[in-house]
Amino acid sequence: MDMKKKQLLSGAIMVIGILVAGLGAVYFQGNEVLFAGLIIVLAGLIVQDRLFRCPHCGKHIRAGDYIPGNTCPHCSGKLGDEKK
């Protein structure tokens, strides 16, 4: 999966979670929908943690630093060399 797809996937999951949590907080009396939204946001963060890893050493890289042409801060391997 290329970098743009990774960013879109994790971002979309978190935006959906924020929307669900916001709607739950505004329109529903119970906290169930709010907590469901927060769980979706947490799932987005977990997806982001799993996807944004160096293709060489496997260590986590911040999403904002995961730019093809940059190097891994841990092993100095070139990012964007993922095998397709």
- φ, ψ for residue 55, nearest 5 deg: -70, -10
Distance separating alpha carbons of residues 52 and 14, to the nearest angstrom:
15
| Residue 8 in this model has a pLDDT that exceeds 60 | yes
Take residue 21 and report the two structure tokens written for it: 């949590």
Tell which wins on pLDDT, 3 or 33. Answer: 33
Task: Read off the pLDDT band of 34 (50, 70, 90).
Answer: confident
Query: CA 66, 64, 54: angle at the middle one, nearest 5?
Result: 25
Average pLDDT over residues 48-70: 82
> Residue ranges per domain, the chain?
3-51
CA 21 from centroid of its chain's CA atoms: 17
Take residue 32 and report the two structure tokens written for it: 């169930």
Task: Read off the pLDDT band of 61 (50, 70, 90).
Answer: confident
Task: Read off the pLDDT band of 54 (50, 70, 90).
Answer: confident
